[in-house]
Amino acid sequence: MKKTLRTLAVGSIALTCVLTSGAGAQAASGHGKKYHGCTNSISVWRTGSKVYAQGKMTCSGSHSVLRPDAALSSYKNGKLQDINIHGEKGCPAAKSCTSKKISLKAHKGWSYHATNPGTADADNVWPINTNASAWYKYR
């Protein structure tokens, strides 16, 4: 219980730092449905001239390998402009794993969509409802 509270406190501090760093910094996050004891989550935020995304997979027990991922795409007036899909990372024998941080150039008025379709063990495809998704609008 003490370890869980400490983890929550550290996560809250990190989120506060993201939300308060830089003028007008904003963030969004989302998570997918639990599957095989694991939950995918994604965070998307802007700092300065870039929009960042990072995925995380958290499991109730250890798995042979966790593969969180991050994909970030930008939209202008509803039309796809750019995409960055190079966030996959593998963590052997783990309960938690964070993907690489990816970014795109920030454009005022554009929307950004981040997803984490992470998987674990020998499963290369998980049900679509396990994908984490979040939208961020740079105002």
pTM: 0.80
Residue 9's pLDDT band, with cuts at 50, 70 and 90, is very low
Going by C-beta distance under 8 Å and a sequence separation of 6 or more, which residues neighbour residue 118? 38, 40, 55, 57, 66, 67, 68, 69, 99, 126, 130, 132
Average the pLDDT over 8-23 and give the result.
39
Residue 25's pLDDT band, with cuts at 50, 70 and 90, is low
In tens, the pLDDT along 82-98 reads 999 988 999 999 999 99
How, if at all, do strands 132-137 and 111-116 pair? antiparallel
Give the pLDDT score at 118. Answer: 96
In tens, the pLDDT along 39-84 reads 999 999 999 999 999 999 999 999 999 999 999 999 999 999 999 9
**Among 62, 38, 45, 28, CA closest to 106:** 45
Give the pLDDT score at 54. Answer: 98
| Percentage of the chain lying above the pLDDT 70 cut | 82
Going by C-beta distance under 8 Å and a sequence separation of 6 or more, which residues neighbour residue 86? 100, 102
